[in-house]
Amino acid sequence: MKKRIELVFLLAIGIAPFYLNGFYNSPLAKSDRTKFWLVEILTWIAMPTALLLIGRYRRLYTWTDFGLTTKVRGARHPWILLALLFAVPCAMLRLDLSVSAWAEATLPSGWPLPPFRYTDVIPPPGPDTGTFRLLSLAHLCLTAGIVEELYYRAALNRLFPRGRLSSLAYIIISSIVFAGAHWEGGLPQLAETFAFGILAATLFRLTGNLLPLIVGHVITDWYWFAVT
């Protein structure tokens, strides 16, 4: 129980900026892009790294507990893992696009939305901005794909024991927490991220491997930031 309380405490610290950035991203981006990116690096790289290392030092989990392994369901199945690395990203992107299209056509925004989108801070394509565009895209996609999967899928999974009811509770609660961090996108984005979370949490509970989810998350975000 003590270790679970410690893990909840670390998670609360790590997740808090993701619930608050809807309030401060817009003024930071408008006033000084340097400050915006410094805050991004702090909350998406420095803080998660420190918290994950603290949790590991406190023996709250192992990297295998977090699904950072080549095993699937506790055993080595290289061909199954390879298949998952291909199939899971395809399924995640397809689901995300389908739910997003439905939500945008069906649901109202729900509340006044902050005047900010991450695409606002990505430099446009061009010979003078290509390097900065690539760096910003890499930061946004990799940090979200890695950190959110570590927080919302791997770490939250440690709070729920095995069993059908516990698994169901984990899948629903982790998806609610994940979706809630995207409140600034309104009801459509809540629906999209909740469905995404349901799929990701279910797959993690079934496979015990986080790598296909990280790849799928990164590819999905890359599509939204770089393609659309």
Model confidence pLDDT, tens digit, residues 178-212: 999 999 999 999 999 999 999 999 999 999 999 99
76, containing H or E segment: strand 75-76
Close Cβ partners of 102 (under 8 Å, ≥ 6 residues apart): 191
Query: In angstroms, rounded to a whole number, what is the distance separating the alpha carbons of residues 13 and 6?
Result: 11
Confirm whether pTM is higher than 0.85.
Answer: yes
Residue 152: give the domain boundaries.
2-227
Q: How many CB atoms lie within 10 A of CB 212?
A: 26
Say what the pLDDT of residue 2 is: 86
Total domains in the fold of the chain: 1
220 vs 81: CA distance, rounded Å: 19
Say which residue, 1 or 163, is predicted with more confidence: 163
In this prediction, residue 125 carries a pLDDT of 86
| Tens digits of residue pLDDT in 10-59 | 999 999 999 999 999 999 998 878 999 999 999 999 999 999 999 999 99
